[in-house]
Amino acid sequence: MSSVCGIYFLDGRPVTAETGEAMMRELGACHADYAGTWYRGQVFLGCHVLFFTPESMLEVLPSYDSATGLTITADAVIDNRAELYDQLSIEPVRRENVTDSQLILLAYQKWGRDCPKYLLGDFAFAIWNDRCRTLFCAVDHTGTKSFYYYQSGGFFAFSSLLRPLFVLSGISKKYNETWIADFLALPTVMHQLDPELTIYKDVYLLPAGHTLTVKSERVDKQLYWQVERQAELKLPSDNEYEEAFREVLGEAVRCRLRNIRRVGAMMSGGLDSTSVACLAARELKSRNDQRLISFSSIPKHGYRNWLADKWIADETPYIEAVRQHNGYIDVVYCRAEGKHPLNGTSRLLTILEQPYKIIENLFWIDDIMTKGKELNVGVILSGGAGNATISWGELTAYLLSLHRMGKWSSMCRESWRFAMLQDSPLKALYKLFRTLFPYNRQNILHPQVDQQWQKILNLSVINRDFAKRVSAHERFRQFRYSLFRPMDSWETRQTLLSPAAFSHFGVINTKLGLANQVALRDPTMDKRVIEFCLSVPENLYICNGKERYLIRRAMAGIVPDKVLSNETVRGAQGADWVQRMENNWVELKDEISRIGSLEIEREYLDIAKIQGSLNKYTKLDDAVAGEFNLRVLVRSLIFSRFLRQN
């Protein structure tokens, strides 16, 4: 786990030591075990290395190879090392001491700009080719590592973090108003529609599955991988699909256990995180390694339940079932006592370098990361992408797919079987068909209906004049965004695994990891897992009206039956976020009431709407805990604090 930076003066002027040192100082805001720099005339490369794997302790970065004229700086952990040893003809006696950056450099020598296609893992790197006078940059398939860049005015600069770029003359902190419009208008926790944009004008994020080749005369960006429909996998029996599932997911977990410290996992009581944790613990036990530490978020002491019957805030019974069944997991329950969504924003805004919207979850995720560091954990596994991959099986989306393909009998059969499993079958059927029948009509009308944009505006506090000035409506049309249009299976998974989603999580995970010196790694977002899960026939995910059917069968015996058979309740982590703010609401309400005192706040925000909404919340209680307007107020305050702090 590392952070990188660099400069390439396209006009030929040399990079001074003062310039490189200034970038390294800003990069060094996070702890590093080793820091290195490399200068060659018009090029500077820098790296802060945090020892993470056994091989990382051998890294000397940036690394220059005099025989080839290549220099690399990298933030990388390569997971398919064994495969690359053979492909790159590395002798067995040398393999143990080959670092990940050396593997990347050898791959570049063999495959050139196609080398990222052959690498699996989490990586962002830059390679200077002294002979060709080119800088080659790449990020991994799912954009797990952030890689910011700027190109203008005769130079190209890059960095894992934003701060190092702003020490360079010519790069200003002028806001990117398109990004701000996206941030304020999107009702979800997503920050932007375009995966390349950042909050700063002319500073971009290299999106998932892309490379950059920088020459003196141009910058060439290329896509080398993206989520696509897969050819359907044909296997003789359901048992063989289940075996293949276990092998693919098992390998994705195994390769992420390579670490010099303890291994941890974020574990709720759901299918995704428990599957990852149980597979990791089994593998650690087989190696006679230290026990897995699971970090489980539970509500604060004194939590009052306000959720509907199908949701639970405290998943302890399911977590305990996993602990007892597996026998090689130590559970650390994290209540994040004393924390709420608004009392740690200064630190989190500094870490993330931008405003954020994951108000219900970020404070307890950060608490888990902090506890992981205290317990000498080097990597924390998660199952964040599982809903789109390993535990896919969303009934409504599947029925919409059958509807679109004209498979009426299958659609009716699965609908009926699902309804028969519910407490009120007729009510369940009514809800399903109310969603199904307008599907084609909504898809046809969607691009022309201005009502969609009006609904988005009604959920937002974006200043209407600002939205018009930056043509936000046209932008949402361009990206065909709608929160309200029903989506079939492929559309839903494509959205969950979109470049924008990858960028969103990549930025957050990179920066939280660097700040806490703990790597966040998600086996359910492994390229192999994604492609395998997209190739599995849809009827293996939904069967006889049961959702998430494949994972329930494939993980039998590995995950306890209490978790696998649970089809009645789902976890709602962070359900206590409003209760946590109750005692501070007078002060917070007063601060929200002052939003608009700055001109820049009035430019971007609908102040009248904020104040009108605020007047409805004289106090906080469970009756308002689920209200979207309250979330918008909290997000508005975080955005305001960013503007003031910045």
| CATH, residue 96 | 3.60.20.10
pLDDT tens-digit series, residues 176-203: 999 999 999 999 999 999 999 999 999 9
Q: Grade residue 98 by pLDDT with cuts at 50, 70 and 90.
A: very high
pLDDT at 436: 67
Asked, for residue 478, whether it belongs to a domain, the answer is no
62 plus 88 within the same structural domain:
yes
Instruction: Give the predicted TM-score (pTM) of the model.
Output: 0.94
Residue 152's φ and ψ, nearest 5 degrees, are 180, 160
60 plus 93 within the same structural domain:
yes
pLDDT tens-digit series, residues 506-556: 999 999 999 999 999 999 999 999 999 999 999 999 988 889 999 999 999
Asked, for residue 132, whether it belongs to a domain, the answer is yes
Q: Quick one: average pLDDT of 9-22?
A: 94
Averaged confidence pLDDT in the chain: 92
pLDDT at 558: 98
Give the domain-ending residue among 223, 254, 269: 223
pLDDT at 449: 46
Q: Grade residue 450 by pLDDT with cuts at 50, 70 and 90.
A: low
196 plus 337 within the same structural domain:
no
pLDDT tens-digit series, residues 564-605: 999 889 999 899 999 999 999 999 999 999 999 999 999 999
Asked, for residue 109, whether it belongs to a domain, the answer is yes
pLDDT at 426: 78
101 plus 8 within the same structural domain:
yes
pLDDT tens-digit series, residues 56-85: 999 999 999 999 999 999 999 999 999 999
Q: Grade residue 326 by pLDDT with cuts at 50, 70 and 90.
A: very high
pLDDT at 437: 62
136 plus 7 within the same structural domain:
yes
Which residues make Cβ contacts (< 8 Å) with residue 255, sequence separation at least 6? 79, 80, 120, 121
* Burial environment of residue 594 by CB neighbours within 10 A (0 to 12, 13 to 18, 19 or more): exposed
Contact (CB, 8 A) for 415 and 399? yes
293 plus 370 within the same structural domain:
yes
pLDDT at 446: 47
287 plus 211 within the same structural domain:
no
Report helix, strand and coil shares of the chain as percent, to nearest 5. 45, 15, 35
pLDDT at 31: 82
Contact (CB, 8 A) for 387 and 529? no
77 plus 131 within the same structural domain:
yes
Q: Which comes out higher in pLDDT, residue 609 or 415? A: 609
62 plus 175 within the same structural domain:
yes
Asked, for residue 176, whether it belongs to a domain, the answer is yes
Give the domain-ending residue among 528, 560, 575: 575
Q: Give percent of the chain with pLDDT exceeding 70.
A: 97
Asked, for residue 319, whether it belongs to a domain, the answer is yes
DSSP per-residue string spanning 418-448: HHHTSSSHHHHHHHHHHHHTTHHHHHHHGGG
Q: Quick one: average pLDDT of 351-364?
A: 95
Residue 504 has pLDDT above 80, yes or no: yes
Hey, CA dihedral for 412, 418, 424, 427, is it positive or negative?
negative
pLDDT tens-digit series, residues 121-173: 999 999 999 999 999 999 999 999 999 999 987 899 999 999 999 999 989 99
The candidate with the shortest Cα–Cα distance to 583, out of 358, 296, 302, 297, is 302
If phi > 0 it is left, if psi is from -120 to 50 it is alpha, else beta; for residue 548 that is left
Which structural domain, as residue segments, surrounds residue 338? 238-391+552-575
Widest CA span in the chain: 74
Give the domain-ending residue among 159, 190, 223: 223
pLDDT tens-digit series, residues 370-413: 999 999 999 999 999 999 999 999 888 888 888 888 888 888 88
556 plus 619 within the same structural domain:
no
Compute the chain's Rg from CA coordinates: 25
261 plus 207 within the same structural domain:
no
pLDDT at 609: 95
Residue 41 has pLDDT above 80, yes or no: yes
Euclidean distance between CA atoms 173 and 166, whole angstroms: 7
pLDDT tens-digit series, residues 104-130: 999 999 999 999 999 999 999 999 999
Asked, for residue 589, whether it belongs to a domain, the answer is yes
Number of domains in the chain: 3
Euclidean distance between CA atoms 506 and 556, whole angstroms: 32
CA angle 379–381–387, rounded 5-degree value = 160
Residue holding tokens 């009206």? 545
Asked, for residue 124, whether it belongs to a domain, the answer is yes
Asked, for residue 479, whether it belongs to a domain, the answer is no
pLDDT at 398: 87
pLDDT tens-digit series, residues 256-293: 999 999 999 999 999 999 999 999 999 999 999 999 99
Residue 447 has pLDDT above 70, yes or no: no
The 10 Å Cβ neighbour count of residue 407 is 14
Euclidean distance between CA atoms 228 and 141, whole angstroms: 12
30 plus 178 within the same structural domain:
yes
